[in-house]
Amino acid sequence: MNNSLFIYNTLSRRKELFEPLSPPYTGMYVCGPTVYGDAHLGHARPAITFDLVFRYLKHKGYKVRYVRNITDVGHLENDADEGEDKIGKKARLEQLEPMEVVQYYANRYHHDMELLNVLPPSIEPHASGHIIEQIEMIERILENGYAYIINGSVYFDVVKYNQEYPYGILSGRRIDELLATTRELDGQEEKRNSVDFALWKKASPEHIMKWPSPWSLGFPGWHLECSAMGKKYLGDQFDIHGGGLDLMFPHHECEIAQSQAADRETPVRYWMHNNLITIEGQKMGKSLGNFITLEQLFSGDHPKLEKAYSPMNIRFFILQAHYRSPLDFSNAALQAAEKGMRKLLEAGHTLEKLQPDNTSDSDINALKNKLYEAMDDDFNSPIAISHLFEVVRIINSVNDKKETITAEDLTLLKQIYNDFVYDILGLQTEMESGNDSELIDGLIQMIIDMRLEARKNKDWAASDAIRDKLSALNVQIKDGKDGTTWNIDK
Ligand code: ZN
């Protein structure tokens, strides 16, 4: 394993040589979705970003334990300590068990991830399955004096913590400014300071999901689950913690404070944050009418969409930007990405047919090194993709007999395609991705039904013409006594 990977650490605000605590083992924790609705464009970016990180670390020979949680309790409506539980609310409105809501949307999330060719994490813990660990963590924070109990709820004392540890080291926020800008406590609230956050909340009688604890029948605060589950599966200190930039404050800042207060340990060595996706320059939001789910993108069923975009199209679009850069969604940008992706994947097929010669006109080994350099530089996928387009140019020129390549270099080109296009970037030809094969199945069945109709009308000419045209596209049809079957000759 050559140790040359640099990662931009949000904590130190610079690129650092990646040195895991106990190589080749590497622990990575990424904040997963709160499962109360369909996954949307905003979910695709962190999923694909950290899938790229996961894939590249594995490619470099690391043994990665990748933990991505499912938030199924404690995430309140306003993302702070007030309001209804997001899942509880959905369950109440739809008259379902909260765990029915969780299961339904978790299944749909997994389906979307599979279409995007996002690998499943090594462990996918649910917050509701780790109440005991969260209660234990609160007990340690209380013992160490960084939390207080009021009316059955427990709050983290940010002001006290900040006297010993810097609160705001990750996000760069300053506590005096936060105290000045956050709204005044309105007297209804129990917290000592507006910056304090809930570790445990006493449940109101109508609250559905609640558990017994030393303090009350209640539920854990949203920030706590990731600290407790990260520690459980990856240890007091682990290598990488990732998530969207929107989670840096307060969620990740609170995670650092909780772990430090409970276990006197900085929990994470490398913090990574992906930038967010905007839609035609605007933040995505239900009120703006630009809230697009992944399912709508794949089907084209949304007023903002000119057409359907395949999961691979979305994946390539996201990888074409560096994960720390902003990315703006538009139909034009997605259609440009689609063209590029097709060119890249088609060259992969052309590559299989190339014939070797005695000399090579291009330096393939140098290109391979450039690809590693790009990925070692904080996972720079857009630069890697630009080098892959040089690979595409070479493939097409050899195919057009404008340049030659040796057998050895041809093998190297195939290795580059396997490693970088398919394995690391995780791109696959559209025939392999589920959504398009469903479409193809549907279209072929429709044509076969039209042929059946022609046969019923004794229009043999039309029926034969359909069969021959399908055959020319490598679709072979067979008439049997149970009806017509078909298969694609590959
Ligand atoms: Zn989290």
Write out pLDDT tens, residues 416-457: 999 999 999 999 986 555 456 667 777 888 898 899 899 889
Pairing mode of beta strands 282-283, 277-279: antiparallel
The confidence score (pLDDT) of residue 427 equals 97
Give the whole-angstrom CA distance, residue 346 versus residue 383.
Answer: 20
Cα(476) to ligand 1 centroid in Å equals 51
Q: Which residues of the chain have pLDDT under 70?
A: 1-2, 78-80, 183-188, 430-438, 490
Q: Report how far ligand 1's centroid is from the alpha carbon of 453 (Å).
A: 56
For ligand 1, the distance from its centroid to the CA atom of residue 251, given in whole angstroms, is 6
Q: CA–CA separation, 412 vs 406, rounded Å?
A: 10
Q: Check: CB of residue 423 under 8 Å from CB of residue 55.
A: yes
Q: Could you give the CA distance from residue 427 to residue 63 in angstroms, rounded to a whole number?
A: 22
If we measure between CA atoms, which residue out of 161, 168, 218 comes closest to residue 193? 161
CA distance 168 to 11: 10
Every domain of the chain and the residues it spans: 21-274, 279-424, 438-488
For residue 248, how far is its CA from the centre of ligand 1 (angstroms)? Answer: 9
Determine the distance separating the centroid of ligand 1 and the alpha carbon of 80, expressed in angstroms.
13
Tell me the CA–centroid distance for residue 123 and ligand 1, in Å.
14
State the distance from the centre of ligand 1 to the C-alpha of 31, rounded, in angstroms.
4
CATH fold for the domain made of 279-424: Isoleucyl-tRNA Synthetase; Domain 1 (1.10.730)
What pLDDT score does 430 carry?
Answer: 67
pLDDT of residue 2: 63
pLDDT (0 to 100) of residue 386: 98
Residue 268 CA, ligand 1 centroid: distance in Å: 13
Q: What is the pLDDT of residue 461?
A: 92
Pairing of strands 238-244, 268-274: parallel
- Rounded to the nearest angstrom, the distance between the alpha carbon of 203 and the centre of ligand 1 is 22
Report how far ligand 1's centroid is from the alpha carbon of 335 (Å).
Answer: 33
Q: How far apart are the CA of 400 and the centre of ligand 1, in A?
A: 51
What φ, ψ does residue 175 adopt, rounded to 5°? -65, -35
What's the CA-to-centroid distance between 30 and ligand 1, angstroms? 7
CATH top-level class for 21-274? Answer: alpha beta
Whether 21-274 and 279-424 share one fold: the answer is no
In the prediction, which pLDDT does 359 show? 96
CA of 121 to the centre of ligand 1 (A): 15
- pLDDT of the residue at 183: 67
Q: Cα angle vertex 276, ends 273, 278, to 5°?
A: 175
Q: What is the dihedral of CA 10, 16, 20, 23, to 10 degrees?
A: 150
pLDDT in tens, 202-225: 999 988 899 999 999 999 999 999
Distance 238 CA to ligand 1 centre (A): 14
